[in-house]
Amino acid sequence: DQQVKQNSPSLSVQEGRISILNCDYTNSMFDYFLWYKKYPAEGPTFLISISSIKDKNEDGRFTVFLNKSAKHLSLHIVPSQPGDSAVYFCAASGFGKLIFGTGTRLQVFP
Amino acid sequence: DTAVSQTPKYLVTQMGNDKSIKCEQNLGHDTMYWYKQDSKKFLKIMFSYNNKELIINETVPNRFSPKSPDKAHLNLHINSLELGDSAVYFCASSQDLGAAGNTIYFGEGSWLTVV
């Protein structure tokens, strides 16, 4: 029973364009949502988060949008850069733990 | 300085063996975790400890036994290794347990292959 889902296993975007990564969740009790970025052979690193009481949080090129009624969040990266190529994990915080999605592999090409 | 460090990074071992993965964090955090990423890329929590006390045990087989000698260390011992134990194991830490927006910091992972 997967409570956090990332339905797109991969995404390919041209450099300079917008990357949009999507995430859906099932439990309305989650109180915080986070995005992690993972390079090969490294651990996930925190990227950006959003509280369940907000609908948008922006940090430089990264913006996370939360639609609570749809139980959906998205990560926008603009402009995308080749160094953004990585696996992005969506995570939901609740019940003393983080529950992760299966990740979306983003490839930014020149 | 690595915030969360785990050793070994790579481990190949035979079925039936017992092995340990060590983890240390120098962030002064109270909570530490073990996560497992399997072949399907699911990243799932196994255990969490807060101030050396076990908080979460996510229906992990008894062959897996975490040990926390102090709040800066959380080691994972695995008995009688099975092929299905092959995965990447990530140690992690956070300041508090389950606090909203509490950022979790991960180690680089330990690649375990059971043959």
Span B58-82, pLDDT tens digits = 878 899 999 999 989 999 999 999 9
CB contact, 8 Å: B39 with chain A?
Answer: no
pLDDT, tens only, A64-83: 999 999 999 999 999 999 99
B74 at the A interface (CB within 8 A)?
Answer: no
Interface probe for B, chosen from A30, A39, A97 (most Cβ of B below 10 Å), is A97
Q: pLDDT of A27-68, one tens digit each? A: 998 989 999 999 988 899 999 999 999 999 999 999 999 999
More confident residue, B1 or A81: A81
Among A101-110, B8-17, B63-72, B91-100, the range scoring the smallest mean pLDDT is B91-100
H helices then E strands: how many in chain A?
Answer: 0, 11
HSE toward the beta carbon, residue A97, CA cutoff 13 A: 19
Chain B neighbors of A45, CB-CB under 8 A? 106
Full set of structural domains in chain B with CATH: 4-114 (2.60.40.10)
Which CATH code fits A4-109? 2.60.40.10
- Predicted confidence at residue A95, as pLDDT, reads 75
pLDDT bracket for residue B98 (50, 70, 90): low
Q: A100 and B101: CB-CB below 8 Å?
A: no
Q: What percent of chain B has pLDDT over 70?
A: 93
Q: Does A54 touch chain B (CB under 8 A)?
A: no
3-state secondary structure chain B: CCCEEEECCEEEECCCCCEEEEEEECCCCCEEEEEEECCCCCEEEEEEEECCEEEEECCCCCCEEEEEEECCEEEEEECCCCHHHCEEEEEEEECCCCCCCCCCEECCCEEEEEC
Higher pLDDT, B30 or A77: A77
Pick B90 or B50 by higher pLDDT: B90
Beta-carbon separation of B101 and A99 below 8 A: no
Comparing CA positions, the residue from B89, B15, B4 lying closest to residue B46 is B89
How far, in Å, CA of B46 to CA of B34, rounded?
5
